[in-house]
């Protein structure tokens, strides 16, 4: 869809901002450009809409060299979102969003109607339409920025650190909302960030740049975590990549055992008879109520008479990841993770050791296929085109953890911050 072919950008002062970049971005996906400051991400992004012209090489869009397209025409099909939203301060929110439709000659009434629809799409109440940018929070302004970029319904969106200027909670909300929107809109998105966690959370594919404008690795988030191409990428991805990678493994495949589970109406004697240090009390629908420490049980009575220790958290076999399951085990007073089904009923338990053994089996990728990450030369969207094989990339191997898609399965609940589940109910949790 968007292809960089041996593209370089050199500035007259001798800076090489981008160095011989070859990269092919899939249609309808989110490609994240990530790397340390000054490594050429923004320059790369801006070469797509001709805000920056390459010194060498070719950028093409849907097979057409973009130099053959007049810049204004090109930009009509490319939305652009930047940090701090870049709104016109003297125009109302509605008129900011109506900018592009107006430029396209839609007429004021139709343009404003479209703007109102877009504000609703990005989750802003109609009451905001008449305000001015300074009357909105940073997060709200950023939503307006996205709405404005979508004005002419462009197939391509370029986003340059769009969520970097807002606080972490708002940022999480914007990211979740962004993934929800993308599920609906299927734009081809190029997204620049310096934050690897954001890249892993949002990207279908990630291009890691190193200083000097060179591509270090182009891969799916999961493969980036599993098989960084070199020490630079490994360092950039971070030390806890083993744990973070579990966000891409579904909990549904994890082996659970029945475990010490009893109805809360069961007698203390029955609990003791299980000969386990902890017993999980459940209600009539097998929903978990809490853990009873067997050593502290009274002489008689039922579990209903006992002060139960809180569960920590359970994990859902229907929607959570292996990371959430492992976290549930680590936080549980009994050290047993409690897996629940879609109704919230206990499906079984497992400890961290049992879980990690199963996870190792699930996440092991044989070296023959795994240690060939796509790197600088002719990197093609991993798993996206038949050409991927040429770049040494096994395109979406069967049995790859995390399929379908590359987004973390869930929020890794409790492991790395607030759990965020997109309204569409699936992808896009906190993936760290």
| Residues near ligand ADP, by CB under 6 A | 11, 13, 15, 17, 35, 37-43
H-only helix segments in 227-351: 231-237, 241-245, 268-273, 322-331
- Contact yes or no for 81/146 (Cβ under 8 A): yes
Compute the least distance from the CB of residue 17 to ligand ADP, in Å: 3
192 vs 350 by CB, closer to ligand ADP:
192
Complete DSSP assignment for 255-285: --B--SEEETTSBHHHHHHT--SEEEEE-TT
138, with CB counted inside 10 A (0-12, 13-18, 19+), is middle
Compute the least distance from the CB of residue 43 to ligand ADP, in Å: 3
Q: Give the closest residue to 219 by CA, choosing from 40, 429, 365, 321.
A: 365
17 vs 196 by CB, closer to ligand ADP:
17
Neighbours of 170 (CB within 10 A): 17
For residues 296 and 347, give the distance between their C-alpha atoms in angstroms, rounded to a whole number. Answer: 26
Compute the least distance from the CB of residue 74 to ligand ADP, in Å: 20
- Contact yes or no for 93/130 (Cβ under 8 A): yes
51 vs 370 by CB, closer to ligand ADP:
51
17 vs 216 by CB, closer to ligand ADP:
17
38 vs 263 by CB, closer to ligand ADP:
38
In the block, tokens 């220790």 appear at: 309
17 vs 150 by CB, closer to ligand ADP:
17
Structure tokens that stand for 74 in this block: 């090109």
3-class SS of residue 291? strand
Compute the least distance from the CB of residue 31 to ligand ADP, in Å: 15
Compute the least distance from the CB of residue 56 to ligand ADP, in Å: 15
39 vs 216 by CB, closer to ligand ADP:
39
83 vs 99 by CB, closer to ligand ADP:
83
For residues 20 and 13, give the distance between their C-alpha atoms in angstroms, rounded to a whole number. Answer: 18
Compute the least distance from the CB of residue 233 to ligand ADP, in Å: 16
- Contact yes or no for 217/236 (Cβ under 8 A): no
For residues 246 and 416, give the distance between their C-alpha atoms in angstroms, rounded to a whole number. Answer: 13
- Contact yes or no for 2/61 (Cβ under 8 A): yes
For residues 398 and 404, give the distance between their C-alpha atoms in angstroms, rounded to a whole number. Answer: 10
Residue 177 sits at the vertex; the CA angle it makes with 4 and 223, to the nearest 5 degrees, is 45
């Amino acid at each position: 869809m968007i292809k960089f072919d041996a593209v370089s950008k050199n500035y007259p002062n001798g800076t090489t901002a981008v160095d011989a970049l070859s990269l092919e971005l899939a249609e309808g996906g989110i490609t994240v450009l990530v790397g340390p400051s000054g490594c050429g991400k923004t320059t790369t992004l801006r070469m797509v809409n001709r805000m920056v012209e390459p010194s060498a090489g070719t950028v093409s869009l849907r097979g057409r060299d973009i130099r053959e397209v007049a810049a204004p025409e090109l930009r009509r099909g490319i939305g652009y979102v930047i940090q701090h939203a870049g709104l016109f301060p003297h125009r109302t929110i509605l008129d900011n969003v109506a900018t592009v439709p107006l430029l396209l000659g839609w007429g004021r009434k139709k343009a404003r109607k479209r703007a109102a629809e877009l504000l609703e799409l990005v989750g802003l109440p109609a009451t905001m339409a008449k305000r001015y940018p300074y009357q909105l929070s940073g997060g709200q302004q950023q939503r307006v920025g996205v709405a404005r970029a979508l004005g002419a319904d462009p197939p391509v969106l370029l986003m340059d650190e769009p969520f970097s200027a807002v606080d972490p909670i708002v940022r999480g909300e914007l990211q979740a909302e962004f993934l929800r929107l993308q599920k609906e809109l299927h734009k081809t998105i190029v997204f620049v960030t310096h934050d690897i966690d954001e890249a892993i959370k949002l990207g279908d594919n990630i291009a890691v740049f190193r200083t000097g404008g060179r591509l270090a690795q182009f891969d799916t988030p999961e493969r980036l975590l599993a098989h960084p191409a070199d020490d630079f990428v490994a360092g950039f991805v971070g030390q806890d990549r083993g744990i973070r990678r579990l966000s891409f493994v579904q909990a549904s495949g994890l082996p659970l055992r029945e475990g010490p589970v009893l109805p809360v109406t069961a007698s203390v004697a029955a609990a003791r008879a299980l000969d386990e240090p902890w017993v999980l009390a459940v209600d009539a629908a097998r929903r978990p109520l809490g853990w009873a420490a067997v050593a502290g049980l009274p002489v008689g009575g039922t579990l209903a008479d006992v002060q139960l220790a809180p569960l920590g958290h359970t994990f859902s076999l229907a929607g959570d990841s292996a990371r959430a399951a492992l976290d549930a085990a680590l936080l549980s007073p009994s050290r047993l993770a409690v897996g629940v089904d879609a109704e919230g009923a206990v499906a079984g338990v497992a400890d961290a050791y049992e879980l990690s053994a199963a996870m190792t089996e699930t996440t092991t990728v044989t070296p023959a296929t795994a240690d060939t990450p796509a790197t600088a030369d002719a990197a093609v969207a991993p798993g996206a085109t038949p050409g991927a094989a040429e770049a040494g990339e096994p395109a979406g191997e069967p049995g790859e953890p995390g399929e379908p898609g590359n987004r973390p399965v869930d929020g890794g609940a409790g492991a790395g911050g607030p759990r965020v589940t997109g309204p569409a109910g699936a992808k896009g949790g906190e993936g760290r």
